[in-house]
Structure 1
Amino acid sequence: MHIKEIPEDFIVYEVADIHPEGQGNYALYRLKKRDLTTWDVLGEIARKLRRRQDEIGYGGLKDRHAVSYQFVTIPQGPKKDLHGEGWTLEYLGKVSSPMSKARLQGNLFEITVREVEASEEELSQEVEAVKRFGLPNYFDEQRFGSVRHGQGFAAREAVLGNYERALYLLLVEGSQYEYRRTEKFRECLRRNWPKVESCLELAPSPWERRLLEFLVAHKPSKRTFKRAFALIDAEYLLMLAHAYQAYLWNEILRRYLNRRNLDHFTVPYLLGEFAFYEKLSPEALEELSSLRLPLPSPRLKLTPDVRILYEEVLTREGIPALSKLRTLVKGLVFKTYPREAVIFPEGLTFSLQEDERHPGKKKAVFRYFLPKGSYATLVLKRIFRRGYF
């Protein structure tokens, strides 16, 4: 049983509060991409138009191994369609303000699971449970691409003052871009660190080249490595901070659910386990449906019982208190917002069909809408009670 055998098995339609207005300083487009990351496509569009990539407005990053549709805006962009290998940009009209995360409402998914062994009755039972009780709103593995190597979070190392280790992780073991594109660069750094001069020509972006030039020009020291953070792309720094917060939040929610003594089962994921409940009492359903847990941040105001959970998780990470979840690196900050503990997929349906790619087998096609920030794969992990596909 598996997903994403072909990109068409995972289709994503972005839903956003934006539409052509007939006038405005921004051109609105619908971007369709296949088997590409959002960042790589936006970079190619910027190069085609000879514009800075940060001028292109967008709402969120979509899965690479998928067919996805999303909105982008370009100030004074061309009134025509654009095309590239694996992507098309369809011109929709003019708008007065750019596309952004604030305008993103969520995503509609159509996902095919192949070689399904469960019966229609078994799937119906699990789907009905999800409709009735929802599921925990964990961050799924896509959020943790920067730690797929299993060597830890760059943001955590920065909090602990290990600046060289943090730089190594974000440059060598992580990447702002698609991994295959930066493989030679990262392998060169891995072989030569911290003597990085021979890797300059392989740098995949201007900021990475400037950072390496700085390291070449200065003697290795804690001060040098800390100062080098000022050259890192600001959006990448925020992404690294948020990835670490997301992991901590997952652990906090898991502990919160475990302390409610709910009937539950666990499934593995890249960084540990997800705990899913089987069902909820009316009281528990009411409590969890309204529960919002903020992402960990040093100035949070929490009730004593909830603060205990946060500090237990941080202590295990070597961070003695919530107030210590901070760095001395400009831009590497832990912003917070309340996140729903439980989500209810809207319009959740499925159909069991013959699998045309695997004769004699079945495929299940699921359709549902999720609010922004929630993960479609998590719904499948709950329904099928397994961590990997």
Structure 2
Amino acid sequence: MDLQFKEASELERKMGIEIYLTTQDGIGGRIRTLLSDFIVREVLRSGLRAEVSPKWPSGSLPGKGSFLLCTLIKKGIDTLTAARELARALGIPNGLISFAGLKDAKAITAQFITIRGAKPGQLELLSFRNMLVVPVEFTTKPVNPSDLIANEFGILIRDIGMPSTDALVRLEAILGDLKELGGMPNFFGHQRFGTHRPVTHLIGRELVLGRVKEAVELLLTYIGPGEGARAREARSYLADTWDLKGFLELLPKGMFYEREVARHLIKRPRDYHGAIRKLPIKLRKLFVQAYQAYLFNRFLSSRAKEGLPLSEPLPGDWVVLLDEHGLPHRAVRASRSNLGTLRGLIKAGRASLALPIPGFRQEGSGGRQGEIEEAILEEEGISPSDFKVKAMPELSSPGQLRPALASFRLLEDPRVTGDELNPGRRAVFLSFRLPRGSYATCLLREVIKPRDLIKSGF
């Protein structure tokens, strides 16, 4: 396939996502008109699948150990907020709740969590407006990211203007081209950065560079393109005056993290380290990880734009061997002596070209790809060793390799129906499975080709 790429929107380019891999126009439309239009279910290595409508168990739970494995079903809130609300309701520290993956707020999601020391009877007494926690079994260890192998999605794309047959033909052409290429581009998706306010990676960069004061200022004052009027007013006021008390009066009630940081600075005006540490450690790590994700996205975009292959290694490239679940388990450096073997493994679906997520332990690529990475890091003023974060050592990140492409598997044939919310328009239902860590929105953006990310529901 001749690779000539469409350029991404300005907002996506701020996230390091600079191109589309498919050349066809998209089908248009909008995702997440309703929360029920975007369903996510986790699949664990053990074979357990999280269900959106699980039954409450009858009788004693299986398993043994001090960790209670549960299904968390949530609607309209993110995983960190859900975990915080659950911990508060149980009267326990946040750290006693573990999860395998972060799930988006703008969806109905079913995921697994463990609660240390909890009993099923405690959960029966809880009632939440936007989530449900159902016990599954006892286990001897907390759930963690390595337990997760895949996510399954059920997505309804609404408000499509073209006729049903045309939409289906175009959809099948896009998916077919991605299959021929070897998968979808494995960008870190929009929610890693925040579509309405893409600031997490910018905060992460300041933390990596040791500029904690600047990181706090970005957290409080950066105005995103999709923010509401009250939030914009509060941030603009603070940027102009640094009047933290006035900022708190203007701040919308839901902005919990900004409120905590501002209150700390009122008590201790120059303690920026203490202020950022008012945020949960998982959120602070997310800032650094978002910056790493931005750099990876730029590496992948630049490789594609240079015309270097995404499904074949060149000398100096990294290749990861894949396990039976399609997940990386070993890295190999491509050389002239092993190039044929590695290309054969990739064609057989047992390996993948990989690019580095920069960190203090992760070696960069060699060859032309290595030159691309070095140029981007130099432009950013960053060295891999900077990810041993001296200003805040608990945020240090070793880096790792990530496949350049992600395989996707349709769970059923796509369906085109009428859109009951938009008479005269069409809706497309897509159900598919992705390896853990890959983003559904990165497949959906290829299908839709959104002109306006925010209006299109991303």
Measured against aligned partners, the alpha-carbon deviations of 1:47-66 in whole angstroms (never above 9, x if no partner) come to 11101112111111211111
Residue of 73, 79, 84 corresponding to 1:38? 79
2:45 maps to what in 1? 17
On the 8 A contact 2:200/2:286 being kept in 1, the answer is no
How many residue pairs get aligned? The number is 362
Measured against aligned partners, the alpha-carbon deviations of 1:252-306 in whole angstroms (never above 9, x if no partner) come to 111111222679xxxxxxxxxxxxxxxxxxx797599621112012443234323
Alignment of 1:119 with 2:147, yes or no, is no
Alignment of structure 1 residues 1-389 onto 2, 5 Å: 1-17=29-45, 21-80=62-121, 81=124, 82-116=126-160, 117=162, 118-133=166-181, 134-145=183-194, 148=197, 153-173=202-222, 187=235, 190=238, 194=242, 196=244, 209=260, 212-213=263-264, 216-217=267-268, 220=270, 224-225=271-272, 229=276, 232-260=279-307, 286=347, 290-305=352-367, 306-319=369-382, 321-324=383-386, 327-330=389-392, 331-347=394-410, 349-386=413-450, 388=453, 389=456
Q: Where does structure 1 differ by over 6 angstroms across 4 or more consecutive aligned residues?
A: 198-208
Paired residue type of 1:311? E
Measured against aligned partners, the alpha-carbon deviations of 1:141-161 in whole angstroms (never above 9, x if no partner) come to 110029825697012223444
Measured against aligned partners, the alpha-carbon deviations of 1:221-249 in whole angstroms (never above 9, x if no partner) come to xxx54575555532222110000110111
Q: CA deviation at 1:38?
A: 1.7
TM-score, normalized by length of structure 2? 0.69
Could you say if the C-alpha distance between residues 230 and 110 of structure 1 is closer, same or farther in structure 2, counting changes exceeding 3 Å? closer
SS in 1 for 2:113: strand
1:267 maps to what in 2? none
Equivalent-residue separation in structure 2 for 1:335 and 1:32 (angstroms): 32
Percent sequence identity is: 26
SS in 2 for 1:363: strand
Moved more, 379-388 or 357-366: 379-388
Q: CA deviation at 1:173?
A: 3.8
Equivalent-residue separation in structure 2 for 1:198 and 1:380 (angstroms): 41
Q: CA deviation at 1:189?
A: 8.1
SS in 2 for 1:357: coil
On the 8 A contact 1:200/1:209 being kept in 2, the answer is no
Moved more, 186-195 or 50-59: 186-195
1:278 maps to what in 2? none
Equivalent-residue separation in structure 2 for 1:45 and 1:322 (angstroms): 37
On the 8 A contact 1:211/1:231 being kept in 2, the answer is no
SS in 2 for 1:74: strand
Gaps (5+ residues) in structure 1?
264-282
Equivalent-residue separation in structure 1 for 2:35 and 2:261 (angstroms): 36
On the 8 A contact 2:210/2:391 being kept in 1, the answer is no
Q: CA deviation at 1:46?
A: 1.0
Q: CA deviation at 1:128?
A: 2.1
On the 8 A contact 1:7/1:67 being kept in 2, the answer is yes
Equivalent-residue separation in structure 2 for 1:16 and 1:189 (angstroms): 46
Equivalent-residue separation in structure 1 for 2:258 and 2:138 (angstroms): 32
Equivalent-residue separation in structure 2 for 1:377 and 1:307 (angstroms): 28
Could you say if the C-alpha distance between residues 140 and 230 of structure 1 is closer, same or farther in structure 2, counting changes exceeding 3 Å? closer
Paired residue type of 1:297? G
On the 8 A contact 1:26/1:97 being kept in 2, the answer is yes
On the 8 A contact 1:28/1:92 being kept in 2, the answer is yes
Moved more, 108-117 or 138-147: 138-147
Q: CA deviation at 1:309?
A: 1.4
Q: CA deviation at 1:215?
A: 6.2
Could you say if the C-alpha distance between residues 341 and 287 of structure 1 is closer, same or farther in structure 2, counting changes exceeding 3 Å? farther
Query: What RMSD in Å do the two structures reach over aligned CA positions?
Result: 3.6
